[in-house]
């Protein structure tokens, strides 16, 4: 199917089904339920799941295949965001303008940074990419203010030329991003009893691009190019001895990874046309590293799972405050209720980073392969149990005397 083997085809179908039915999957609790706060099926968050999934999938092509750990990928995310907003300002509000420019600008930027940084490997490569990202942040924040609008951020205005579509909407307001007339913010709400599901145009635009990006990632992983990248990770010195120069391959992986990051930046501004220098901060680069390792570096679906996991914690788990905790423990006597709230409080709300850090530490210690390894272990456990049951049934059949 689509040039994929059976295993990759099944994995691809799982991702497609998850993207299509996410509004249902992410809203398991009724709207009036006390557990509705754990629902994540609203458009803004679902878009973030997909966008950062693309970001992590692209980063995994570099880190998961070659072993080169970049701490500067946020620079390409920010460059793609700025390029996208400029396309909205200069050409028009079609998201294709923004996405195309974001990918191209991020690719050229990655080519420049990769050409210099890949002269070194290991920790020196990581430090170089971090330095470039911080330089990019400083330039965007201050020196390049005419292009980036500094700390205020680059955004749309009434004076933008938008030479292909006009400066403003028919009612004089700022236009919104769209795809051939379909506005990204257009949302249809479906009410089924106590459940409410939102179907957002912007989400499904991101979903289609996410599916294409994931398919491209699979083809890269299974291609001869992907095998060469694995060889770089396995033993680069041995490649040199055979006469193969690994630098063109690592540079190509770095550029492709940067283009994925630029694509994510372009989708960000396609959903909300605002670009700021904070997207280039080292913390954003560290976030995609966490996503990839948490989900499973070097696996296909791992970065997607890691991105969804972290963004869920950031947007859902962080909203649990003391009022919610008191509702949870209201069945306890007052003294015990207050004690439980006191104990749990540091791990939720503003302290969600603490919980995420503990979970990340546990995953690194007990599941070096990330969430994917955890799923594989559970699968092997069930298969082993099934085989044991089958063997026991066979033995029982053999011991039963024939009639």
Residue 227 lies in a domain: yes
For the chain, report the end-to-end CA distance as a whole number of angstroms: 50
Is 177 in contact with 93 (CB distance < 8 Å)?
A: yes
> How would DSSP label each residue in 65-113?
HH----S-THHHHHHHHHHHHHHHHHT-SBHHHHHHHHHHHHHHHHHHH
In the block, tokens 């950062």 appear at 52
pLDDT, position 168: 61
How does pLDDT run across 112-167, given as a tens digit for each residue? 999 999 999 889 999 999 999 999 999 999 899 999 999 899 999 888 888 887 66
Residue 202 lies in a domain: yes
Place 18 in a pLDDT band, splitting at 50, 70 and 90.
very high
pLDDT for residue 40 is more than 80? yes
Secondary structure of 101-114 in the HEC alphabet?
HHHHHHHHHHHHHH
Q: Is 190 helix (H, G, I), strand (E, B) or coil?
A: strand
Residue 297 lies in a domain: no
pLDDT, position 402: 41
How does pLDDT run across 278-297, given as a tens digit for each residue? 999 988 999 999 999 999 99
Residue 333 lies in a domain: no
Nearest to 72 by CA among 109, 120, 119: 109
| CA gap 99, 1 in Å, rounded | 28
For 176, which DSSP code? -
Residue 327 lies in a domain: no
How does pLDDT run across 253-269, given as a tens digit for each residue? 999 999 999 999 999 99
What is the number of domains present in the chain?
1
Residue 393 lies in a domain: no
| CA gap 183, 168 in Å, rounded | 15
Residue 142 lies in a domain: yes
What residues does 331 pair with on adjacent strands? none
Structural domain of 230? 41-280
Residue 198 lies in a domain: yes
Across the chain, which distance is largest between two alpha carbons, in Å?
93
Q: How many CB atoms lie within 10 A of CB 290?
A: 17
Tell the burial category of 282 from Cβ atoms under 10 Å away from its Cβ (0-12, 13-18, 19+): middle
Assigned token pair, 197: 């599901």
């Amino acid at each position: 199917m689509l040039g994929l083997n059976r295993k990759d085809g099944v994995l691809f179908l799982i991702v497609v089904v998850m993207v299509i039915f996410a509004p249902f999957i992410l809203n398991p609790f009724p709207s009036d339920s006390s557990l509705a706060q754990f629902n994540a099926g609203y458009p803004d968050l679902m878009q973030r799941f997909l966008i950062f999934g693309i970001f992590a999938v692209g980063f995994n092509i570099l880190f998961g295949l070659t072993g080169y750990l970049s701490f500067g990928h946020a620079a390409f995310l920010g460059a793609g965001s700025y390029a996208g907003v400029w396309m909205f300002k200069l050409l028009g509000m079609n998201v294709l303008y923004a996405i195309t420019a974001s990918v191209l600008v991020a690719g050229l930027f990655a080519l420049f940074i990769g050409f210099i940084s890949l002269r070194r490997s290991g920790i020196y490569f990581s430090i170089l990419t971090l330095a470039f990202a911080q330089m990019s942040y400083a330039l965007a924040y201050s020196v390049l203010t005419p292009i980036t609008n500094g700390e205020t951020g680059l955004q749309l205005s009434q004076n933008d030329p938008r030479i292909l579509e006009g400066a403003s909407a028919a009612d004089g307001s700022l236009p919104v991003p769209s795809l051939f007339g379909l506005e990204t913010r257009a949302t249809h709400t479906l009410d089924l009893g106590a459940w409410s599901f939102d179907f957002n145009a912007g989400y499904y635009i991101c979903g289609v691009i996410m599916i294409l990006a994931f398919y491209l990632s699979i083809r890269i992983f299974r291609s001869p190019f992907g095998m060469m990248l694995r060889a770089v990770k396995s033993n680069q010195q041995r490649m040199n001895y055979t006469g193969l120069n690994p630098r063109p391959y690592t540079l190509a992986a770095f550029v492709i990874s940067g283009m994925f990051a630029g694509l994510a930046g372009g989708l960000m501004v396609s959903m909300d046309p605002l670009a700021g220098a904070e997207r280039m901060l080292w913390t954003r680069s560290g976030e995609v590293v966490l996503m990839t390792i948490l989900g499973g570096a070097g696996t296909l679906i791992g970065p997607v799972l890691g991105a969804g996991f972290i963004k869920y914690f950031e947007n859902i788990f962080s909203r649990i405050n003391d009022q919610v905790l008191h509702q949870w423990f209201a069945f306890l006597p007052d003294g015990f209720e207050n004690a439980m709230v006191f104990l749990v409080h540091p791990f939720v709300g503003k302290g969600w980073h603490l919980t995420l850090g503990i979970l990340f530490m546990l995953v690194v210690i007990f599941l070096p392969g990330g969430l994917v390894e955890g799923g594989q272990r559970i699968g092997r456990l069930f298969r082993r149990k099934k085989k044991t049951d089958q063997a026991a049934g066979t033995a029982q059949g053999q011991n039963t005397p024939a009639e």
